[in-house]
Structures are given as structure tokens and as C-alpha cells.
Amino acid sequence: MAFLQDSTYGKNNVKFLKVKRDPSNPQIHQVLEATVRVLLTGAFDISYTKADNSVIIPTDTIKNTILIEAKKTDVFPIERFAAHLVKHFLGKYSWIDGITVNIEQAKWSKYSVDGKLQPHSFVKDGEEVRVCELAAKRDGSFSLLGGVQGLTVLKSSGSMFHGYNVCDYTTLAPVWERILSTDVDCKYKYDSRKIGSVDAIFKLADSGLFDKTFESALKVTLDRFALENSASVQATMYNMGTDIVEANPYVYNVSYALPNKHYILFDFAWKGLKNENELFYPSPHPNGLIKCTVGREPVAKL
């Protein structure tokens, strides 16, 4: 007999932009453009197995909730708003057992005109997004991740790749100079034991912990990328993860997923021209995809 093994549902891609005015000068603004996803688990089985909709909180209501709560509460930083939504849903609907909130924050930065920082004008100076994920259960257990996604970087020197396994299927030539480019996906998981509870997230948000951790992860990623003479994507991402864990006591582990976006040195030999790492073409073909998690404590591998 077939049975429902697993299920979850909710609303994805709920977008808002919130303006926060400085209480001491309402002309000074901060903006948060967010994309939110809320997924619920709990006593929803009968909606699947018996076509009984009585337990369904419509995804339209979930969307309204995200927008109403974004209006009513402080949404900075995104980790605080995630905690607020978790408490709202678990508090209002007794049959919800678990909730996962994902929030993406677009990059809007203030800029200066004639040396004067503008109070309410912003430039979108990057496609990267700050992200967080808070997954919480009614029993109080939770996990909190922060991160950056879509940060596209490239270096035109200071990256090598040689010494790899060579077999009868290998065509790749070793290089001591190459283009290295990737779209950074970095997620750091906070240590739930150190945070304590979902309620504690609000105080830690006030203390600036989540902003500081984000800034640190971003800086480490960019610094390492620029300064290290990279032996491989693998070695560089491990070093980035190590730096983040060591600099941030609340971080339990760091996961990177990095595509290796190949730039191929064009061969001009047939034309009698030398190509000294000057002209490359971006490969439309398969890219490498390299992932690792760097933890504070060793854990058993399954």
C-alpha cells in the first residue's frame, strides 16, 4: 500500500521592500529588499491523503502574513525577521510542528555625491545576495544558517592547477597561471548550543552578531580569493572556511559550493602568435563544481 512519506508546503518568492527611517532624522533611510520563503510541516497529512482542506493554512495567507509582519516589525537583520516569522507561525497555528524560513536580501548600498553620503539614494552594486535560513521545530530545536550567494569573482593571476592525477583519460595541461572565476555560494551554520534558542536570536541581532558574521565571511572570501596563490579551488575554499570558523566563535561550520568557471586560453599557434595568458574565451561547456564543509569539530563521515 502507498503512504505519504513526507510533505511540506508554503509560499516561495514573497518579495517586499521595507524602508526604515532613522528616528532622529526621518530623511535618513535604510532599505531592505527581501525575497522570502516559508515552508510548514505538521498535521497536514489529511490534506494530502483525505482531500481534507480544513488543516491547510492557504499559501496566500502565508504570503499575507509575511507582508503584514514585515510592516509591523523590525526586519533588520534578516535573521531577526526569520525568528519573528517562526514565532508567529508556531504561536498562531497549534498544528504546525516545524517551519523553515529562507530570506534573501538584495544588495542596495548608499552612495556619495560630491563627497556627501546620500541619505536615501542607493545603488545596486552587485548581484550577490545575503541569505539566511532558520529551521525550527515546536520542541525548541532549531538550526540557523547565514551566507552569501551569487558573488561573482575572477582573478587573472595567482591561481595554479598542477600535480593532479594523470591517467589515460587526462587531456588537461598543468598550469602555473590561469584565470580563476566562480560564483560564490557560502553558507555558515551557527552553533545552536551557543545561540541557545530562537528567542535568543532577537538579542543577538541587537548585539550585531549576524551583521558582523556576514561581513566577516564576505571579507574572508574576498581577501583569500585575492591574496592567496591558489593551488586549486579545493585548497582555497578550505582555507576560506577555516578562516571564517576561526574568526567567528558562533559559527559551527561553513559550506562552500563553488563552480569553477573555466576560461580557456585560446591557442594561436596555428597563426604563429604567442598567447601569454592574455586572451581567453569563457567556456560555455561544463564547469567544475566543488563543495566542502569546514567544521569546528570533526564529525563521523557516513
Ligand X SMILES: O=c1[nH]c(=O)c2[nH]c(=O)[nH]c2[nH]1
List active site positions: 11, 59, 262
CB of 173 to ligand X, least distance (A): 10
Do 242 and 296 form a contact (C-beta atoms < 8 A)?
no
In the complex with ligand X, which residue's Cβ is closer, 160 or 200?
160
How far apart, in Å, are the Cα atoms of 22 and each of 30, 47, 117, 132, 234?
Answer: 8, 46, 15, 25, 44
Question: Is 59 marked within a binding site?
Answer: yes
In the complex with ligand X, which residue's Cβ is closer, 84 or 178?
178
Footprint of ligand X on residues 215-234 (CB under 6 A)?
A: 232-234
Nearest to 126 by CA among 151, 104, 103: 151
Q: Is 288 a residue that touches ligand X (CB under 6 A)?
A: yes
CB of 180 to ligand X, least distance (A): 8
d(CA 93, CA 63): 15
CB of 282 to ligand X, least distance (A): 15
Of the candidates 19, 51, 113, 172, which one interacts with ligand X according to CB under 6 A?
A: 172
Determine what percent of the chain falls in helix, strand and coil, rounding each to the nearest 5.
30, 40, 35
Question: Is 234 marked within a binding site?
Answer: yes
Do 140 and 197 form a contact (C-beta atoms < 8 A)?
yes
d(CA 209, CA 163): 41
Helix, strand, or coil here: 10? strand
In the complex with ligand X, which residue's Cβ is closer, 143 or 234?
234
In the complex with ligand X, which residue's Cβ is closer, 81 or 161?
161
Of the candidates 44, 161, 188, 190, which one interacts with ligand X according to CB under 6 A?
A: 161
In the complex with ligand X, which residue's Cβ is closer, 27 or 171?
171
Cα atoms found within 13 Å of the Cα of residue 247, Cβ hemisphere only: 19
| Burial readout 174-200 (b: 16 or more C-beta within 10 A, e: otherwise) | eeeebbbbbbbbbbbbbbbeebeebee
Q: Which residues pair with 254 in a beta bridge?
A: 188, 294
Question: Is 53 marked within a binding site?
Answer: no
The residue with cell 492557504 is 58
The C-alpha cell at 273 is 602568435
Question: Is 148 marked within a binding site?
Answer: no
CB of 233 to ligand X, least distance (A): 4
Count the residues of the shown chain that bind ligand X, applying the rule CB under 6 A.
Answer: 7
> What is the contact mask toward ligand X in residues 119 to 158, using x (rule: CB under 6 A)?
----------------------------------------
d(CA 212, CA 175): 37
CB of 159 to ligand X, least distance (A): 8
CB of 202 to ligand X, least distance (A): 41
In the complex with ligand X, which residue's Cβ is closer, 209 or 294?
294
The C-alpha cell at 249 is 566563535
Footprint of ligand X on residues 232-261 (CB under 6 A)?
A: 232-234, 260
Helix, strand, or coil here: 193? helix
Q: Is 282 a residue that touches ligand X (CB under 6 A)?
A: no
Q: Is 287 a residue that touches ligand X (CB under 6 A)?
A: no
Binding site residues, ligand X, CB under 6 A: 161, 172, 232-234, 260, 288
Q: Which residues are part of a known binding site for urate?
A: 59-60, 161, 178, 233-234, 260
